[in-house]
Structure formats: structure tokens, C-alpha cells
Amino acid sequence: MGCFTFIKVMMILFNLAIFLGGGTLLGVGIWVTVDEKSFLDIFGTLSSSILQVVNVSYFLIVIGSILLVIGFLGCYGAQKESKCLLMMFFSVVLIIFIAEVAAAVVALVYTGLAEMLLTSVVTPLLKEKYGEDDSLTHIWNVTMEEVHCCGLNNYTDFTNSTWYEKYRVYPEPCCKGMHPCNDTLAAQEEVQGCFDKILEEIRTNAGVVGGVAAGIAALEIAAMAVSMYLYCHLDQK
């Protein structure tokens, strides 16, 4: 087996795995959209603490669709030896790589801006929907209990909320499970907000996060290099 044939086969297998992975994520995303409660009942305790600020169903559908497109372009392009599809594959991966680098830079430099934007979106949602929307309430309860945090910023996110007006107390995690969780006890316990807690966890595991990010970047660079190799050597066959 020549070098070109070997790389072509590896390209097909690699992108077939991406295609199948994308299809799986897309399927899960559709499942969450159709029957979110069952999904949360199964994976609630294992869910990431970021679920409450991202609509996980749309997130999975978008990511799954992107992986399906990438997998199809790479797999079918290599199998058919199509220069057009290979170039499209290279272009899509390059755009994603640039977007990831830009997002990483923005996340590092503008953490305060991200917090402000999240606060403007999530805090009103908590005040209006916590205790009313079963799915949102379940996600937040699991997150606050597992991460040991309260609200996005702190217990004041629930002040004058639908939940507080109805029960006249704050959620139990805001007082570390002590009763009754009123203003005085919540202020005394000073339970950290989930946003700061998540950032703290990310910083604590910066090596793991950085390693995963570096691994993904390396795979993307390798995929672009392989697709360009095949593209350039098709005319030499």
C-alpha cells in the first residue's frame, strides 16, 4: 500500500468516525428537544454546570450538524478523490479553527464581559422561571447542589423572584442546606455564585482543559494537512 493510499484510507476512516459521532450528537439533540425531561432524569446528576446557560438541545443539534458536514466532506471527498470536496473540507475546518482561537482569546481577555452578558440573560430568567419551569428548576437544583454554588452571581439573583415571592425563602443550596434559608442566613453563608465557581474549577483544571484544547487543535491541523496533501497529490496519480 502506497503512502497516498494509506493516507486516503486513514482520512476516510477518521472522517467516518466524525460523521457517526455527529449523527449521534444530532440524534441526542433531537431527543432532548422532543423529550427533555427524560434526558434530564437520566443524565441530570452527571450534567455539566454549564447546562443552565446553554440550551443543550440546540447546542447538540448545531455541533452534530457541523460534525456531520465535516465528516461527509472529508470521507466522501477522500473516497471519490474530489478536489472540490477536499477543499471545502479544508475550508470548513480552517474556519472552525479560527473561530475557536478567537473564542479562546475573547474568553481569556473579556471574562468580565462574558459575566455581564450572562448576568443580563440568566438572572432575569432565574427570577421569572425558577420554580415555575420544571426543567430549568431541575437543572439549576442539580447544578447548585453538585457544584455547591448559588445562582449565577450569588443568592441575590433570587431576590424578588417568582420563587422568593411564593415561598419567602431562597433555594436551600444558598444556605448550604440549612433552614429556613432567609436573607440573613444566605448573606451569612456567602455561598459563591455558579459563574465564579465554574471559573474557579476551570482554573483549577487548567492543565486538563488546555490539554484537551491542544489535542483538538492538533487534530484539526492534522486534518487540514492531510486534506491538503490529498488535494495536491491527486493530479500526480
CA angle, residues 16, 21, 26, in degrees to nearest 5: 125
Q: Both 226 and 182 in a single domain? A: no
Q: Both 180 and 155 in a single domain? A: yes
Which pLDDT value is given to residue 219? Answer: 84
Q: Both 142 and 226 in a single domain? A: no
**Pick the residue with more confidence: 55 or 216?**
216
Which pLDDT value is given to residue 52? Answer: 45
Which pLDDT value is given to residue 46? Answer: 44
**Pick the residue with more confidence: 37 or 71?**
71
pTM: 0.60
Average pLDDT, the chain: 80
Residue 113: pLDDT above 70? no
Within 13 Å of residue 146, how many CA atoms lie on the same side as its CB? 17
For residue 116, name the pLDDT band (cuts at 50, 70, 90): confident
Does residue 195 belong to any structural domain of this protein?
yes
Residue 57: pLDDT above 60? yes
Does residue 117 belong to any structural domain of this protein?
yes
Domain that holds residue 187: 112-199
Q: How many domains is the chain partitioned into structurally?
A: 2
Does residue 210 belong to any structural domain of this protein?
no
Q: Which long-range contacts does 87-94 make (Cβ < 8 Å, 24+ apart)?
A: 87/227, 87/231, 89/15, 89/223, 89/227, 90/224, 90/227, 90/228, 90/231, 93/220, 93/223, 93/224, 93/227, 94/224
Q: Both 13 and 77 in a single domain? A: yes
Lowest mean pLDDT of 4-8, 33-37, 73-77, name the range: 33-37
Which pLDDT value is given to residue 107? Answer: 67
**Pick the residue with more confidence: 31 or 69?**
69
What average pLDDT does the segment 71-88 reach?
88
Burial status of residue 168 (CB atoms within 10 A of its CB: 0-12, 13-18, 19 or more): exposed
CB 174, CB 188: distance < 8 Å = no
Which pLDDT value is given to residue 170? Answer: 92
Which pLDDT value is given to residue 47? Answer: 47
Burial status of residue 98 (CB atoms within 10 A of its CB: 0-12, 13-18, 19 or more): exposed
Residue 51: pLDDT above 60? no
Nearest to 6 by CA among 78, 64, 98, 61: 78
Greatest Cα-to-Cα distance within the chain, rounded to the nearest angstrom: 77
**Pick the residue with more confidence: 178 or 2?**
178
Q: How far apart are CA 42 and CA 53, in angstroms?
A: 20
Which pLDDT value is given to residue 45? Answer: 45
Q: Both 23 and 74 in a single domain? A: yes
Q: Both 191 and 131 in a single domain? A: yes
Residue 70: pLDDT above 80? yes
**Pick the residue with more confidence: 1 or 90?**
90
pLDDT in tens, 140-166: 888 888 888 898 888 998 988 888 888
